[in-house]
Amino acid sequence: MQIKRKLEFPLWKIPYFLIKSFLVFNKIIRTGILALLIENKYFNKQIELILKILNFIFGNNNQKEIGKKLSNVLINLGPGYIKLGQALSTRPDILGKKTCDELKILQGKLKPFSNSISRKIIQNENKKFLQESLAFFNDNPIASASVAQIHTGILKNGEKVAIKILKPKIHKELFRDFTFFYWITKFLEFCIPTIKRLKLPKNVEVLSEVSLNELDLTLEASAADELAENFKDHLNYRVPKIYWQFTTKNMLVLEFIDGIRIDDLDSLKASKHNVKKLTEIGTEVFFLQVFRDGFFHGDMHPGNILIDKEGALVPIDFGIMGRLSNNDRQFLALLLSYLLNKNYKKVVEIHDEANMLGKEISHDHLSQAIRAISTPILNKPIGEVSLAKLLGQILNLSKKFNIEVQPQFTLLQKNMLMAEGTTRQINPNINMWELSRPLIHKWITDTHDPFKVLEEWYHKNKIALLKIPEIIKKIDEILSKK
């Protein structure tokens, strides 16, 4: 509710937003992106026709260096748009490998701010850090992304650290972009009332809240700490050490990881890492985060995942994290399991049990519609199957079948797209969802085990149960007085 109030805009801003939306739309289309989408035939015929019309009126058929042109436009538009580009850079199935490679500049190679500003920010956060705690500080940043940049240093005890500092005025710029995105969704709802069930404004609220949490680096440190605790016994996935004594809202100091990006196949092979094993580890970790813990890394583009010398996966950015309740996890596990087994009637049933369907909806018709969109996707070669895309298509049925879209799955679906895109880049012959199938099935079985359900209930209500004898004693005293 608090983020919603912040995103709401005064009426006098509407003419400004209208003009801005036209200018933004025009800039993006003129990169030639629509011609590329049409050529790759990713969308259905109706959407493809709309894209052709828009491209004819506004577009540019010059497909040379579309990724570079789009990157430049998104960088100039602001940090919110850069995040959009980061997500697109993991989707070669939509934009093609060449364009995605050109978009990778958005994952950590943006133009940094000056050394003097970096030192000033660090000085403001901790006056003694540069002089008394560091033996060396590298003025040249090793990465510069949408909201922060990273320098390296060496502590006086010899430990190498990464120092992440927020960009100046980033809070104001990011909030400006999300306010505009919120207005666009409201405007679309006004123009097309039938899309209200998609809850687009709510989706922007969720993404805004998650992204704006990136701007408090103590929250990022806390997220890293929780993730590390969850995976403390996992040999192939580790989280960098956080130096809490130096960390503030605007500066995060953590262990420096000397590793290789997960999508740098040439370097991985040269270092004799097993790419197939890395894919399997990544799939297992994704499953454990989403289903076992309900706490997952929400920004899994390749720039945020390194492979260390021992072959372990190391995440290096914890600004965007997602959570799912136990009910959400059970719904998702059943949904993925039924889709993989092509049991479309069960897919409809769980939507109904979750109160996501109107009473007037024909279950048979919805089941048939889900089969129609699922079959072409699930019958593709194993390396091309995209459950994230399939879930998106199922959500697109919401208009016709009055499906209540759940905003809590917005970040997860985005992360699924990134995870699939990254997996496909490093190992096109492996389907992460086929690898997940036995894990999902076991999790469903375990969570429905009556003894485990009873055990979980006992732990949740242990404190209340311990008070029962005391309550009985008080009742007995009251009754004896009568």
State both tokens at 350: 């769980």
Residue with tokens 């190679």: 109
3-class secondary structure, 391: helix
Active site residue 101: no
Residue 76 neighbours by CB distance under 10 Å:
10
pLDDT score, position 458: 46
Q: How many CA atoms are closer than 13 Å to the CA of 319, on its beta-carbon side?
A: 26
- pLDDT value at position 86? 75
Low-confidence ranges of the chain (pLDDT < 50): 449-455, 457-459
Query: What is the Cα–Cα distance from 274 to 282, expressed in whole angstroms?
Result: 12
- In the prediction, which pLDDT does 122 show? 93
Instruction: Give Cβ neighbours of residue 313 (< 8 Å, ≥ 6 apart).
Output: 236, 237, 238, 262, 278, 281, 282, 285, 305, 306, 307
The type of residue at 456 is: E
Do 155 and 130 touch, CB atoms closer than 8 A?
no
Query: Catalytic one among 177, 263, 299, 317?
Result: 299
* 293 contacts: CB under 8 Å, gap ≥ 6: 230
Q: Helix 326-340 vs helix 344-353: angle between axes, to the nearest 10 degrees?
A: 160
Residue 203 contacts residue 186 (beta carbons within 8 Å) = no
Residue 392 is predicted with a pLDDT of 67
> Would you list the domain boundaries of the chain?
31-107, 265-448, 450-481
Task: State residue 454's pLDDT score.
Answer: 47
Question: What pLDDT was estimated at residue 211?
Answer: 74
For the chain, the residue count is 482
The pLDDT value recorded for residue 451 is: 43
The pTM (predicted TM-score) of the whole model is 0.71
Q: How does pLDDT run across 211-259, given as a tens digit for each residue?
A: 777 788 999 999 999 999 999 999 999 999 999 999 999 999 999 999 9
User: Mean pLDDT for the chain?
Assistant: 81
Which ranges constitute the DSSP H helices of 231-325?
265-270, 275-287
> Contact 358/349 with Cβ under 8 angstroms?
no
The predicted-structure confidence for 147-157, as pLDDT tens digits, reads as follows 889 999 999 99
Give me Rg for the CA atoms of the chain.
25
